[in-house]
Chain A
Amino acid sequence: MKPPDHRDLHSRNYPVSEDMTLQRKVWRFERWGWYAMVLLMGLTLAGLFSKGPLSSAEVRSADGQLRVEYQRYLRNGATDALVIHVQGRAREPLEVELSGALLQGFNVQMLQPQPLKASTAGDGMKVWVLSDNDGHAMLHVTLNSDGVGSFQTKVALASGASVGLSQFIYP
């Protein structure tokens, strides 16, 4: 660090011995720390730490039969929802398979509407939901994040349509 030009910033030895070089570093640290805090607030508002434009995401399968709304970033202990939209034939049970790391990273708290039936499928689960008159069905999965790190989940339909989603849980 270059020596200060101004006499005010030179070290004094009386009445106390000072280390102005260090003190100026401390002041600089305070200033940059403040910038970092403001930046962090901005990023939080933008959704880098869940719930915001950077975090809310949607994936769609190639044939358009499956659409999933989810959060890219989540926080350990917090509850969030996964919304699965399925298009199929009218008034028929549609099979939705959730596999991958979903059950390791999350606690499934609630499935709405209540599936017709559910079963385990490998490391994941399968649920059957009834479609409406237009062939549309929706499944709200309320998840409580209890893991930390990155989790990849695959949502698939019996018809073969599938989407993958990657979610990151902060500690």
Chain B
Amino acid sequence: MDSVLRAAAIYLVLLVLFKVAGRRTLAELTTFDLVLLMVIGEATQQALLGDDFSLTNAVMVIVTLIAIDIGFSLVKQRSTGFARVLDGGPTVLVEEGQVLHKRLKHARLDEGDILEAARSIQGLVEIRQIRFAILERNGKISVIPYE
């Protein structure tokens, strides 16, 4: 019984924590983010398994995690409202060469992040060359240049 409860509790806690952290936090994975992710995994492992290292427990935990994940995706498919809350929506950051500063501030981003995406994806070097920059649901920034 407790393996299911443990897995469900950890799933929900991680879901809320990563919602708080925002979509950008682990989107552009730096070396440090990778290490941080591994440390979070280590800290979670003990709570997931407790002191029961049996094969059955491991299977039950994995089954629970994947089942909840599939369950959520099914609910998301039926209810767009739920999907919006859980996944968020895309946010426009640059519109016709103009940076929407208020939005950047709330999203904890700066022009440097947009320019970085512009350089790596489109080979653009200035904000005024960008028609639209959009912060996607997965935390990546899409850049659409002027024709």
Cβ A16 vs Cβ B102 within 8 A: no
Cβ A22 vs Cβ B89 within 8 A: yes
Interface residues on A, range: 20 to 34
Q: Which partner residue on chain A sits nearest B132 by CB separation? A: A15
Q: Which partner residue on chain B sits nearest A15 by CB separation? A: B132
Q: Which partner residue on chain B sits nearest A30 by CB separation? A: B22
Cβ B144 vs Cβ A15 within 8 A: yes
Nearest-neighbour CB distance to chain A for B23, whole angstroms, equals 9
Cβ B91 vs Cβ A18 within 8 A: yes
> For chain B, what secondary structure do more than half of its interface residues adopt (helix, strand, loop), or is it mixed?
mixed
Cβ B51 vs Cβ A77 within 8 A: yes
> For chain A, what secondary structure do more than half of its interface residues adopt (helix, strand, loop), or is it mixed?
helix
- CB < 8 Å A-B pair total: 51
Cβ A8 vs Cβ B100 within 8 A: yes
Q: B92 touches which one: A6, A12, A19, A22 (CB < 8 A)?
A: A12
Cβ B20 vs Cβ A19 within 8 A: no
Render A1-27 as a binary contact track against B, CB cut-off 8 A, 1 for contact: 000001011001001111100111011
List of A residues within 8 angstroms of B90 by Cβ: 16, 18
Q: A19 touches which one: B17, B22, B89 (CB < 8 A)?
A: B89
List of A residues within 8 angstroms of B51 by Cβ: 77
Nearest-neighbour CB distance to chain A for B109, whole angstroms, equals 12
List of B residues within 8 angstroms of A37 by Cβ: 17, 20
Cβ B88 vs Cβ A29 within 8 A: no
List of A residues within 8 angstroms of B21 by Cβ: 30
List of B residues within 8 angstroms of A34 by Cβ: 20
